[in-house]
Structure 1
Amino acid sequence: MPRAEKSKRDELTFQQRKFVNEYLKHGNGRNAAISAGYSEKSADSQASQILKLPKIRKAIQAKEKEFEMASLITVESILEKILAIAEDEKATNGEKLQALKLLGQHKAMFTDKQIVTTQNTNPFDQMSDDEILKMYEEQKKFQKQA
């Protein structure tokens, strides 16, 4: 069988992908089938048939493994490992320094602080109302000429 046909056959439809996601949320085939758009009347039999498909089982297992891996990699677990390196007596000074740097960055201890002052001066503050009106009238004349 050509490769393209096999990959096409193994692909999940939109509704099947939705079923897999809903099944992982609910843990219940009937609810997953209904949420995926299958008829409520046939949800039980549809769920049973769908769950028997090898490509569906494979997709569910892959998603479960993905969730498992994601749960293993947490901010806390990473920070614990970095802290362990920083406190490890066998670690080199460079490794310790890098670990401390990463911990400091996490705590935003090394952010650059800039103090910016601006002078917000209004050029019209020093002008009288008459001077401003005269300038406005000149501007209007100039725009009409253009």
Structure 2
Amino acid sequence: MQELNTKQTRFVEEFTVDFNASQAAVRAGYSEKSSRAIGCELLTIPNIKKAIQTRVKELSNDALVNRELIISGLLAEATNYSDKSSHAARVSAWSQLAKVSGLNIENKPHDDVTEFLRDLTERNAASRAVKGLLPKNHIDLDNYDNYGNRIRQ
């Protein structure tokens, strides 16, 4: 396998910043007019694909170490009952740990399945709107009973 040249190496570094091939090609020094085609072409070269995979693994390992350090620091603060730590600091640390672990999701309790389905559909529609997808408004929840069974008419 061939080694990557300077522009290709720079493309790999820039691509792993935002995963936008055409912008990475421009920032790596390729022509702005043909950046889209060059970016697509560069992504098909086996050496570049392998370099991108390696770089992503390196970045994720770095992120994992940072995440572990943050969690261990928060856990140390949350369980620190010495005179140097306050109750507010411990509560805040537990709150941050809950956010990091995904336990701090604000859900309201539901009385029946229909209410749950409505809430779930609304959250999914809001999520799709944020991601630029069209929400599915054709779901008629009034045709379901409290147990999620469809009412036949």
TM-score by length of 2: 0.44
TM-score by length of 1: 0.46
Between structure 1 and structure 2, the one with the greater Rg is 1
